[in-house]
C-alpha cells in the first residue's frame, strides 16, 4: 500500500472511530464544535473517547498499537481515562517460526548462530506484532557467560514501520501547528520518543 493510500486509510479509520470529533473539539471554537457534531451524524460515537481511540489504534495495526502502548505511559500528556484505556492495548500474535528468526540473525551478523551465541533458545519467550524475543547466552572476551534477550523483527516489518512512522511525523506536525492543545501536547516529541523504540 503506498504512503498516500495508507494516509487515506488512516483518515478513514480516524473518522470511523470519531477521532475527528475529538480533534475538532480540542480547538475550542464554536464553529468547529458545531461542524464536529454534523460530521458525527450517522456514526455510533457513544463509546467513551479512550475506547474509541484504542479501537482505532488496534484497527490501524501493529505500529499504532505499539504507539498507543507507549502513549499510555505518558500520563502527563493524556487524561486519565484515555491513558487507562490505552494501557489495555496488548499484542496477541502467535510467534513466527524460529528458523526465520535464526536466519534473520545470521543474515544480520553474517555468521552462523552458534558462532554468535553460546546458546540460543529456539522457543521465543515473547511474541508481539512487531517482533519476538528469544533468550540466548553470550561468552564475552573475559570468558564470562552473559544472558541476553534477542529481539528479532517480524519478516517484512521494517518497511511498514518506516512508512507508518513517516505518516505519524507528518500528522504530529499538522496537529502541533493546528491548535493550542496540539502545541501543549508536543506530538512531534512524542513520535520522536516512540521512534527510539
* pLDDT (tens place) for every residue of the chain, 197 residues total: 577 888 889 888 988 888 877 666 555 666 666 666 666 666 767 889 899 999 999 889 888 888 888 888 888 878 899 899 999 987 767 899 999 999 999 999 999 999 999 999 999 999 988 899 999 999 888 989 999 999 999 998 888 888 888 888 988 888 888 777 777 778 888 888 877 76
Same domain, 25 and 76: yes
Same domain, 68 and 112: no
Same domain, 143 and 49: no
Residue with cell 492543545: 181
Angle between helices 62-71 and 157-178 (to 10 degrees): 50
- Provide the b/e sequence for 82-108 (b: ≥16 CB within 10 Å): bbebbbebeeeeebbebeebbeebeee
Same domain, 118 and 168: no
Same domain, 75 and 149: no
Same domain, 105 and 172: no
Same domain, 34 and 60: yes
Same domain, 73 and 18: yes
Q: Which pLDDT score, from 0 to 100, does residue 27 have?
A: 59
- The range of the structural domain enclosing residue 182 comes to 3-90+157-195
Count of domains for the chain:
2
Same domain, 110 and 134: yes
Same domain, 61 and 115: no
DSSP 94: P
pTM: 0.68
SS3 115: helix
Same domain, 175 and 110: no
Amino acid at each position: 500500500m503506498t504512503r498516500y493510500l495508507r494516509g487515506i486509510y488512516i483518515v478513514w479509520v480516524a473518522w470511523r472511530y470519531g477521532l475527528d470529533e475529538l480533534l475538532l473539539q480540542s480547538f475550542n471554537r464554536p464553529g468547529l464544535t458545531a461542524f464536529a457534531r454534523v460530521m458525527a451524524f450517522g456514526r455510533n460515537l457513544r463509546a467513551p473517547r479512550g475506547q474509541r481511540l484504542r479501537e482505532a489504534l488496534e484497527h490501524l495495526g501493529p505500529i499504532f498499537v505499539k504507539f498507543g502502548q507507549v502513549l499510555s505511559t505518558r500520563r502527563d500528556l493524556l487524561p486519565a481515562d484515555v491513558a487507562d484505556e490505552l494501557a489495555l492495548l496488548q499484542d496477541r500474535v502467535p510467534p513466527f517460526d524460529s528458523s526465520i528468526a535464526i536466519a534473520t540473525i545470521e543474515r544480520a551478523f553474517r555468521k552462523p548462530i552458534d558462532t554468535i551465541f553460546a546458546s540460543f533458545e529456539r522457543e521465543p519467550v515473547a511474541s508481539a506484532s512487531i517482533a519476538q524475543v528469544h533468550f540466548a547466552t553470550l561468552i564475552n572476551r573475559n570468558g564470562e557467560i552473559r544472558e541476553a534477550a534477542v529481539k528479532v523483527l517480524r519478516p517484512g516489518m521494517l518497511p511498514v514501520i518506516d512508512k507508518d512512522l513517516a505518516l505519524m511525523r507528518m500528522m504530529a506536525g499538522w496537529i502541533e501547528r493546528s491548535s493550542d492543545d496540539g502545541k501543549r501536547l508536543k506530538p512531534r516529541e512524542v513520535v520522536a520518543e516512540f521512534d527510539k523504540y
